[in-house]
Amino acid sequence: MKQEYQSAYRKLHADQAFRDRLIHTLEGHDEPRRVRPRWLVPAALAACLIVLFGLGVPTLQRVLQPIESTSSVPSSNEGAILGSDGLYRDSQIKNILCLCTDDNGDGNALMLLSIDHRNGSLKLSSFLPSLKVKAADNTEQILSALFQKEENGDEAVSLIQQNFGLAVDGYIWMDSSAVEAAIDAMGGVTLELSEEEARYFALSSSLEISLGGGFAAGEYTLTGPQALFFGRLHIGSDYDRMLRQQKVAEAILKQIWEDSSSASELLEALIPKVRTNLNLPTVLDILSSMDTFPGNFFSTHDVPDHDPDDLFGGESSDLRTLSQELIAFVYGSAVQQSGVVRGEDGLYRDTQVTNLLLWVGAKDNTADCVMLISLDSADEAVRLVNFVPELAVQVPISGEQPIGKVGMEAGSGSLLRTAVEESFGVAIDGYIRVDYEQAVQVINESGGVPLLHPLETEPLLPSTSQHYFVDPQAPDFSLLTGQEVFEYLDLWEEAGISTNLDLMMKQEEVLGALLHQMRQLDTEKRRSLTNLIDTDLTDEQLTVFFESIPSGLDSEQDRTIEMDVRRIPVDFTAQTADRDILYADLSTCARGLAEFLYDDLPEEQQPNVVDGISPTVGNSNANLANGGIAVDGEDGSIYYINFADNNRIYRWDAQHNTQTALTDGPCLYLNIFHGDLYYINMSDGGIYCLPSKWNLTIPISLDDQPHSDLIVTDAYLYYMRGGEIYQRETRPVTDGSNLGAEAQLPRVDGDLLGLQWGDGKLYYFVRTEATGPDGSQKIAMCHDDTLDCLFSNGTEEDQPYVLDGSTLYYAASGAIHRITADGTDATLFDVSDLVTSQMAEQPDGTILNLPAVSPSVEALWVQGDTMYLSTNSQLYCVDLKALSLQTEKKASIQVLPAAGSIWNLCLAGEYLYYTGDGGFSDTSGYPWQTWRISISGTPVVESNLLPSSPSTEWAP
């Protein structure tokens, strides 16, 4: 038993001493204590939970019967949020449903215990057993019906969640005898009795119940049987009985909080009759932070907060109001409960709006239409969204697909629902998917679709067709069978008498008429039709949906449902189409869709720069200063430039060890931002983007002059062109229609050499007229119109320099220099002190190693305490921190197993990427290519980026 408690507590963040003491108490330690320490209060509360919930007794393993928790809670948030399941939850508040079954039925009790760790409080909500709620099948029942069934805690949790809209983290179901035994074990509970209540005790024939105080009102200490008798008293209404039960629960909690000395005895005396889905670690996790709860930590709430019998004729309670009051009590009054909210999954939803997704197949199994039917009960409106079937959307796993194609496979309704939610950001409450045969049968079973006589199409009908038989109830209308409906729509599409827009309008006309027809059917008939369709909704949910369509929108004269209509995309004739797929700006479509479905959208947090917070950058500055030939993908993959294959961009999936070429021409300056890949195409010098959601290359900036030094941040894209600096606002990229305007930035005079990023600012480098001691022109590092420092990289003007934060590292005259933020320029080390020149093989077979004399540095990469540099056909890793501490500088350097010309050092994942010849001669047949070397464990050079490259076993 002790091991079980210790195992659970290892998962908590409470201090070890507290854990040991609590374990000691829960196991029934009998050592006398003269002073009640503060830590015993949570231990006593543990005992209280055990009284109420049946946890922690010696027979724990036999009694608990653990079940998985019924709801998940976000890891962290600043308050209550609306979850993807439509339930409110808060990571700092745990809700436990407590049900107590009484053999004679009078003591049945249902309460919700909310443990608020943020505010240090316990909140107890009591539910009136006779309260009318909606059951799972949408029928009305009273809460006490739960106690007439087999003890099913999951059903009770679902009922509370469904009706009151807040997440329940677990349940406890107990017998009243457990409460009776627990109260006796703790020496009784103290309650204030009225004179009428005391009279009932005095008149009881049971000696076990009778009180010695006669009929006098006052404070009494009640035994277990007496406390239960108090909760069962038939004084007043059921509401009054609920309040008395609440008083008993409150008295138990307060008494244990004030006097915890009997906790161990209580545990040993308790014989629980409990079923729960809470496990021990969960309970201990809840208790661990209760040590700091203040003395006035307890509050109560009643559902409803008044006695329904006091109303005229006992009117039924408004569940929506009760739900709002309960959520406000548990989570605080600041929780937004009305109107549209954006949940933790990023989807817009409104409790008054129901969104139903519809996919209808054509004869050839393609999509005839994809629609979203939205029912707004607050505005009494029906809104219809008609998607162009060719519109490209993002599909989990498989990537982009036309929205119509997503639902083609049988059973793909859930996938379509997910694709629409991810692509457009609105919550879908259910879907209906019907192929051609199913749609024809549903229309026929519902009695056909009433349409005004479409006389303009009659000459086009096959002579064998039996179309448009007159509806006797409305002579101006014809009732079309299912097959005739599709033929009617096909005529508009194939006969050349309409545009795509006209066809969509006819589809909307058919749907409005079909909804009207469905509403005319009786409930049983409608339910029978659900067997013909593929849906994730129950018969009851579909029935509720159709019956909730406002009657004022059902036009008997026009035989249709009046609907507001929006087509997505709005102007699909102007969008980019390729291979039967239509590309549109999904972010614009999503915003327009949300604004159409919901009245007032919550304000969006601006993604651009916030004061005091550095912008996010699409690649590390050290990588971009080296040409940006590699970058970490946000999905765990690595993107790199493959110099052995015309400098094309490749994506390496490390998990599956697969490589995929993404571009045709040579590229540089890779940046990943929000999953989109930005780069410069070296063939035409333009800036392009490969959006994560599309198999499409989007031009960002094209000009006669080539671009270079691309840096992508969450605010702007920065780049050079024609010797000047430009910026363009960063926006979501889909089809190229959402590009920000380009602006030229002011700068200090001089020949522009390059751009780098440090400390959340854009720096640029210009060559000045000033000269160094060796006569070389100095370079100025600037930001905005400010000159930060001057330095000279010697007569070899191609010597590298890299900015790390506000510190600049540069190579000059055989040394590595460092300029700090205060302008101090110091020599960090001489390259000749760290490296040796590897000379040709001597006649005797030995290799002569001599100190290098002012070797030229080819590539330099610096970030934090790590520096990589290549010089003299070798690659080195320098530990800058160790270098500053070591008197022997060579102790801080590692020679990596790479050889030959080494350029473009870039770190991505666990690999250092670079370009070079691998140390082979030009006649070896191996071209200049991309290499990578693992930086974790033993460094190993990998050159098999293409099958034609050398073996991975070779290492120079």
Element (H, E) at 468: none
Whole-number pLDDT of residue 336 = 62
pLDDT for residue 546 is more than 50: yes
Interval 802-823 mean pLDDT: 91
State whether residue 138 is helix, strand or coil.
Answer: coil
Question: What confidence tier does 127 reach under pLDDT thresholds 50, 70, 90?
Answer: very high
pLDDT for residue 624 is more than 70: yes
Q: Which one, of 622, 595, 427, 445, lies nearest residue 526 by Cα?
A: 445
Tens-place pLDDT, residues 80-96: 777 767 788 888 888 99
First CA to last CA distance, the chain: 60
The larger pLDDT score, comparing residue 361 to residue 731, is at: 361
Q: 398 is written with which tokens?
A: 């498989």
Give the bridge partners for 671, in sequence order. 678
Q: Which one, of 194, 196, 197, 222, lies nearest residue 208 by Cα?
A: 222
Whole-number pLDDT of residue 9 = 35
Q: What does DSSP say about strands 367-376 and 353-361: parallel, antiparallel, or unpaired?
A: antiparallel
388 half-sphere exposure, CB direction, 13 A CA radius? 26
CA distance 513 to 477: 11
Whole-number pLDDT of residue 733 = 64
H helices of 793-941, in order, are 831-834, 880-885
The larger pLDDT score, comparing residue 632 to residue 474, is at: 632
DSSP 645-702: GTTEEEEEETTTTEEEE--SS-EEEEEEETTEEEEEETTT--EEEE-TT-S--EEEE-
Main-chain phi, psi angles of 429, to 5 degrees: -90, -15
Q: What is the mean pLDDT of the chain?
A: 76
Tens-place pLDDT, residues 654-713: 777 788 888 988 999 999 988 889 999 999 999 999 887 666 788 899 999 999 999 999
Question: What confidence tier does 347 reach under pLDDT thresholds 50, 70, 90?
Answer: confident
Whole-number pLDDT of residue 293 = 64
Q: Which one, of 478, 279, 549, 500, lies nearest residue 387 by Cα?
A: 500
Locus of tokens 């229609």? 737
Locus of tokens 């005396």? 269
Whole-number pLDDT of residue 551 = 82
Q: How far is CA 497 from CA 150, 430, 468, in A?
A: 64, 35, 19
Tens-place pLDDT, residues 412-431: 898 999 899 988 989 999 99
pLDDT for residue 49 is more than 50: no
CA geometry: angle at 707 spanning 703 and 708, to 5°? 180
The larger pLDDT score, comparing residue 745 to residue 575, is at: 745
Sign of the CA dihedral with 310 first, then 312, 315, and 320 last: negative
Interval 202-216 mean pLDDT: 74
pLDDT for residue 48 is more than 70: no
Q: Which one, of 358, 346, 476, lies nearest residue 407 by Cα?
A: 358
CA distance 231 to 244: 5
CA distance 721 to 311: 77
CA distance 562 to 380: 11
Tens-place pLDDT, residues 895-943: 888 888 899 999 998 899 999 887 765 544 556 889 999 887 677 777 6
Q: How far is CA 549 from CA 384, 558, 562, 643, 650, in A?
A: 13, 16, 10, 62, 53
CA distance 764 to 771: 19
The larger pLDDT score, comparing residue 562 to residue 607, is at: 562
Interval 243-260 mean pLDDT: 79
CA distance 726 to 717: 8
pLDDT for residue 737 is more than 60: no
Interval 595-610 mean pLDDT: 62
Q: 955 near 941, Cβ under 8 Å?
A: yes
Q: How far is CA 645 from CA 633, 772, 939, in A?
A: 21, 41, 25
Whole-number pLDDT of residue 403 = 92
Sign of the CA dihedral with 327 first, then 328, 332, and 338 last: positive
Question: What confidence tier does 486 reach under pLDDT thresholds 50, 70, 90?
Answer: confident
**Distance, CA of 256 to chain centre:** 41
Q: CB within 8 A of 188, min separation 6: which ones? A: 221, 222, 223, 224, 226, 227
Whole-number pLDDT of residue 579 = 56
Scored b (16 or more CB within 10 A) or e, 98-120 reads bbbbbeeebbbbbbbbbbbbeee
CA distance 764 to 755: 4
Q: 537 is written with which tokens?
A: 């909704």
Residues across the chain: 956
Dmax (CA) for the chain in angstroms is 120
Question: What confidence tier does 734 reach under pLDDT thresholds 50, 70, 90?
Answer: low
Instruction: State the CB neighbour count (10 A cutoff) for residue 798.
Output: 9
Q: How far is CA 114 from CA 92, 121, 298, 456, 773, in A?
A: 10, 8, 10, 66, 75
Interval 214-225 mean pLDDT: 85
Q: 183 is written with which tokens?
A: 């109260």
Q: How far is CA 241 from CA 107, 129, 311, 318, 379, in A?
A: 8, 10, 18, 21, 40
Instruction: State the CB neighbour count (10 A cutoff) for residue 258.
Output: 12
Q: Please report the beta strands in 539-600, taking only residues with DSSP state E, as ranges in sequence order.
A: 554-555, 560-561, 564-568, 576-578, 581-583
- Exposed, middle or buried, 331 (CB in 10 Å: 0-12/13-18/19+)? buried
Across 146-155, 273-282, 466-475, 683-692, the highest mean pLDDT is recorded for 683-692
Whole-number pLDDT of residue 835 = 60
CA distance 468 to 325: 55
Whole-number pLDDT of residue 868 = 95
612 half-sphere exposure, CB direction, 13 A CA radius? 0
Q: 791 near 781, Cβ under 8 Å?
A: yes
Give the bridge partners for 133, in sequence order. 141
CA distance 418 to 420: 5
The larger pLDDT score, comparing residue 358 to residue 15, is at: 358
Whole-number pLDDT of residue 578 = 54
Q: 880 near 893, Cβ under 8 Å?
A: no
Q: 228 near 9, Cβ under 8 Å?
A: no
CA distance 520 to 514: 10
Percent of the chain having pLDDT more than 70? Answer: 71
Question: Which residue type occupies 813?
Answer: S
